[in-house]
Structure 1
Amino acid sequence: MKFIDFDDFVREAWQEYDDTREIKDITDISAKVSTNHVYQITFEDGNHIIGKLSYFGKYEHFVEDHTIINSLSNNLPVPFDHFLSRSLMKENSLYVHRHVDDVIDVWVVFYRPIQIREKLPKRLNEDQIRKLARQFAKFHKACHTIRNTLPPSSKTLEVDIEHLLEILETEEGQYEYRMQQDLIRKHCNIFLQNLDELGANDELDTIPVFVDWNIGNFSVTADFELFSRWDYDWFRMSSRMMDFYFFARIVSDVGDRTIFSYNLDPLMEKRFQIFLKSYHEEFPLTELEIRLLKEIYRFFILNYVVKYGKYFFHDLFATKLQKEAYEEYLPNIEDKFDPEPLLTTLNL
């Protein structure tokens, strides 16, 4: 791909939104891990907003997700009524700018700036784990309360996995996954079969989930109350269990690391059991949800690492994580995940 100045698309988007306010400066504040771009846009009057630019997936899904998030940000009750950043509206609609040319199809959405308090420490003690667990439980409960007030979502776990199976049949997919076709297809089929046998779709409520609870994506108060969240790349409507693999990573004994992997081990740590117990006391879990964790992890690896890894991560990270997915993550799921200790912890 030839060099593309993404700043131009941001300026173009703002010009279409409100050409009476002149931009003074555009600063890239992206995390430099994902291929998405996030900008702080400063105006001549000193005020600023945040712009997000994306160019992978489907435009319709991008608009759908941000429409749901914006509705969620307005509908969440206290104390989460200011937890999420609100997107800018134009007249009565969410404003999303789309630029299409012969080279790229790119989309821009603008957010109001959100206040940020404290980041979590890289390694939590047990008291901090319990406090955070209760906070996440309260947030999930709030999302559950207003779930029926949100716009519909077209994405499901099955649709995403079936899409991966379709990619395997394409010329591009046969080339990209040429050495791993059988392994990927096997785990896609296991996932679909186990999801059906568990009856998860019939038994579990769908709520807003953000999936990627990396400690760089949200802030807390000094007393570990959730304060703000600003990264929405993996947002979807699904079971609350979609969030739990990253909860396990947050409380893991190894703590936050610059060089990271997505192995299953955090789900089996005693520290995660401490987290589950405190969460369960606030917003009870079910046996089905705990047993579903294995398939949630399998889905995470298949969808976010195998299928979308090259879009979510820069090349160095994507290559490493996909190699580990084929050699470690997927082959070890059945042997490593045991729901019984988790069920025992919760007396289920």
Structure 2
Amino acid sequence: MTQIDFIGIVREAVKHFDSSKRIVRIDDISAKVSTNHVYRIKFSDNNFIIAKLSYFGKFEHFVEDHSVINSLSNNLPAPFENVLARSLIKGNSLFVHRYTDSLIDAWIVFYRPMRVRQKLPKRLSEEQIKKLAKTFAQFHQACYSVRNTLPQSSKTMKIDIEHLLRILQTSLGQHDHRMHLDLIKEQCHLFLDNSDKLGADELDVIPVFVDWNIGNFSVTKNMMLYSRWDYDWFRVSSRMMDFYFFSRIVSDVGDQTIFSYDIDRFMEDRFIIFLKAYHEESPLTEKEIRYLPETYRFFLLNYVIKYGRYFFHEVFSNRLQMEACTQHLPSIEKKFSAEPLLDALFD
């Protein structure tokens, strides 16, 4: 099997960025469950930068997402002005290097290194849940406050689901999902129909990072959000897209090495504690709460079914896709009820 020289691609990117830089060392610091590549590059002057390499999706979307993220990182007000990594600029533009050959079309963006404080414990206390809800609500408010200063994002949830439906019409899509083809199509149409009925297009959109697992961000000792990295699932969408992973953070189950994407976390008392504290800081609407199962459905369809082979190594993606089709997607209507959540917030 032909091996791709990712380190060589990174070296080429550095050369195109600044040919005067002398590289001393390149370390692979990629997360082991993801197929994306992240490298720490040390230079002869003892400075270092971070490189992110990706090779799935569309190059235009990669540039678009990182342009929005970089603007957001520069425009966020205090106390979140240093939460996001800043990308490197060449001239007046975000620097993105594209490498293409017969084997791969890969894209690289460089980041300044970030400071990290405390990571969350695997299981939070109720007081920690309330503090975390407050800081996430404030972060969402900060993102909302600068939304009109950011570059436009062309991706929408509807566009992504329609793309998945087109994939399912191809021979490759039909082969990859042959065991569950009809179910996936049905779930795509359920998402589109339910979103229309709820009037999801009327919901405010802000930058959201979706994948809030405890390995992707750090907090202060007072549980204020301090830094956030790993932007693989970034998009501009409803703030409710973040809430499934919020529910996982505060779940009674806690953080687990062997994980699954069940919907049960939404119905836990601990998630209601989180919702109430968030709601006190940044009020939620009934429409947003009723939209929660559709954000979960979208997460499974887009990030697990459509892109699972790229976000997870094969040993994880096969299991997660099977669970999504046989357990999680078919159980949404059976397991989720908005009423207990609405009662907790509005009674």
2:319 and 2:170 map into 1 onto residues whose CA distance is 24
Q: Provide the secondary structure at the position in 2 that maps to 1:136.
A: helix
2:67 and 2:17 map into 1 onto residues whose CA distance is 17
Q: Deviations over 1:258-299 (max 9, x none)?
A: 111000011110000000000000000000000000100000
Residue of structure 2 in register with 1:331 after alignment: 330
Residue of structure 1 in register with 2:125 after alignment: 125
Q: Provide the secondary structure at the position in 2 that maps to 1:49.
A: strand
Deviation at 1:2, TM superposition (A): 1.6
Deviation at 1:45, TM superposition (A): 1.2
Structure 1: unaligned runs, 5 residues or longer: none
Superposition map of 1:305-324 within 5 A: 305-324=304-323
Residue of structure 2 in register with 1:289 after alignment: 288
Residue of structure 2 in register with 1:213 after alignment: 212
2:107 and 2:23 map into 1 onto residues whose CA distance is 19
1:296 and 1:338 map into 2 onto residues whose CA distance is 14
Residue of structure 1 in register with 2:170 after alignment: 170
1:297 and 1:87 map into 2 onto residues whose CA distance is 30
Give the residue type in structure 1 aligned to 2:223: F
Superposition map of 1:160-309 within 5 A: 160-202=160-202, 204-309=203-308
Deviation at 1:17, TM superposition (A): 0.4
Deviation at 1:206, TM superposition (A): 0.7
Q: Deviations over 1:210-264 (max 9, x none)?
A: 0000100000011101000011000000000000000000000010011110000
Give the residue type in structure 2 aligned to 1:10: V
The answer on 1:152 being equivalent to 2:162 is no
1:171 and 1:233 map into 2 onto residues whose CA distance is 27
1:298 and 1:251 map into 2 onto residues whose CA distance is 20
Structure 2: unaligned runs, 5 residues or longer: none
Percent of residue pairs identical: 66
Q: Deviations over 1:310-347 (max 9, x none)?
A: 00000011011001011101110110000000000101
Give the residue type in structure 2 aligned to 1:78: A
The answer on 1:12 being equivalent to 2:22 is no
1:2 and 1:250 map into 2 onto residues whose CA distance is 39
* RMSD, aligned α-carbons: 0.7
Q: Provide the secondary structure at the position in 2 that maps to 1:331.
A: helix
Deviation at 1:63, TM superposition (A): 0.2
Deviation at 1:7, TM superposition (A): 0.5
Structure 1: which 4+ aligned runs deviate by more than 2 Å?
Answer: none
Q: Provide the secondary structure at the position in 2 that maps to 1:276.
A: helix
2:224 and 2:153 map into 1 onto residues whose CA distance is 29
Residue of structure 2 in register with 1:107 after alignment: 107
Give the residue type in structure 1 aligned to 2:231: Y
Q: Deviations over 1:167-225 (max 9, x none)?
A: 000010111111111000000000000000000102x1110000000100000011101
1:164 and 1:21 map into 2 onto residues whose CA distance is 42
Give the residue type in structure 2 aligned to 1:300: F
1:248 and 1:131 map into 2 onto residues whose CA distance is 14
TM-score, scaled relative to structure 2 = 0.99
